[in-house]
Amino acid sequence: MAELFKNYIAGKWVAAKSNKTFENRNPANRDDLIGLFPASTAEDADAAVHAAKTTFPAWRGVPAPKRGEILYRVGELLRKYKEDIARDMTREMGKVLKETRGDVQEGIDTAFYVAGEGRRLFGETSPAELPDKFAMSVRTPIGVCTLITPWNFPMAIPTWKMFPALLCGNTVVLKPAEDTPATASRLIEILNEAGVPRGVVNLVHGRGEEVGAALVRHPEVQLVSFTGSAAVGREIAAVCGQNLKRVSLELGGKNGQIVMEDADLELAVEGALWGAFGTTGQRCTATSRLIVHRDVAKKVTEALVARAGQLKIGDGLDETVDMGPLINQPARDKVLNYITIGKQEGARLLIGGGSHETGACAKGYFFQPTIFDQVKSQMRIAQEEIFGPVLSIVEIGSFEEAIRVLNDSRYGLSSSIYTRDVGRAFRAIRDVEAGITYINGPTIGAEVHLPFGGVKDTGNGHREAGTTVYDIFTEWKSVYIDYSGKLQKAQIDNAD
């Protein structure tokens, strides 16, 4: 019998009030039922928000260093259980073990980094313009935060959002993706074991259209942090805008890697292979466009096709496998549709382009590593986010053209350039329209102590990770202390 999972509300594991459930199956093997999860509704969302609101005054009163100590214990527990979590995550969402271990490691790194910030939630002091007066600014928590997270990084992204939110004194309602609910449940178990008080963190499973929408619209939710598609992000932003509710959006990408004629070509091919086919291309930072100088395009393309053809596809629990499945059938259907679009647009399919259903892969959502060349920047496969193992090669004739092509996108998350010319590297840093730029590295591989996010349709300007994340989860308060013993009028008493 399949394991029955529950929501976590007010410190208790509870079923959805409807008692309805949904299935969670292994994308590498549809016969493998991981468990049944609560199909929650607005009623469950309301209970979770009520619990978070009730516990907010007490949690905000806990000194930030103490909150940091609890999060440090969370990091230690994540490290203790890392291998078990990684294996369960591979079974749940498909990516290979080395990647799910990395996913858990991001949670560990975030916990330890955020824990230290418990003694560094710095405000500022400033000279006052009047005598016998003191001026400063301090951070204060916002309140109840709803975190809506995707399936491709089911441990890393929830921790990126949750740990800073908690450190700042907020309470949380987590709504994980329907495709990876088990990893979210495991995270809540660890938070509970580490000593996070009941009601401070709440977990509600269910469909985004139902429970997610209810949380976004809930009047007692002060902040929504969402990672997902630009289309859904726009809807969330509209709702939050109508209610003057803070919203942080981390959305899509159509990331480009430039390879100039002076690049280390072997290194560039390694980077493109990892960037395009790591996580089966299911990263918002995945390399989906390879922008190659025509002088080296033939050599780079031949090497990439050869290497892509050697990638081993299969169950990510097999340590010899390079690439696991797509997350579900709709994802595979979407990628197949873009293969058709690419051919119709006149791009040349060099390798892949179809499902991989042989042998042990017959019951999973596997897809072949796919490469197109003769791609023009205006083509849909070069403009739209595919979210699968599909790489489009665009040839260019100069550095200036490469920058124009890379910037010819409504997204602006990650970017990369391979060159030995330091001048080109610095001009790329200046001119590329993206929140992240790698020099001689692939478009994937962010580190938790630097800001993460992008420009244009990639988000609404906020940055997760690093120190910038605290500007999402805190309000600034300016404080003036007048000890002169008399009324002083700023901009009046001190005027010439």
Structure tokens at 262: 């002076």
Please identify which of the residues 117, 178, 250, 395 carries the catalytic annotation: 250
User: What is the rounded CA–CA span in Å between residue 147 and residue 111?
Assistant: 17
H helices of 253-388, where? 265-277, 294-309, 329-345, 380-383
Coil, helix or strand for 78? helix
Residue 242: count of CB within 10 angstroms of its CB? 9
Q: Is position 240 annotated as part of the catalytic site?
A: no
In which element (H, E) is residue 52 found?
Answer: helix 42-60
CA-closest candidate to residue 387, choices 408, 411, 416, 362 = 411
User: What is the rounded CA–CA span in Å between residue 309 and residue 306?
Assistant: 5
**64-80 and 97-117 helices, crossing angle to 10°:** 160
Report whether 275 contacts 443 (CB < 8 A).
Answer: yes
- DSSP string for 134-197: EEEEEEEE--EEEEE--SSSTTHHHHHHHHHHHHTT-EEEEE--TT-HHHHHHHHHHHHHHTPP
Coil, helix or strand for 203? strand
Report whether 177 contacts 154 (CB < 8 A).
Answer: yes
Q: Is position 168 annotated as part of the catalytic site?
A: no
Report whether 386 contacts 412 (CB < 8 A).
Answer: no
H helices of 440-493, where? 470-473
User: What is the rounded CA–CA span in Å between residue 262 and residue 479?
Assistant: 55
Please identify which of the residues 145, 168, 240, 284 carries the catalytic annotation: 284
Exposure string (b/e) for 140-163, b if CB count within 10 Å is 16 or more? ebbbbbbbbbbbbbbbbbbbbbbb
Q: Which residues are catalytic?
A: 250, 284
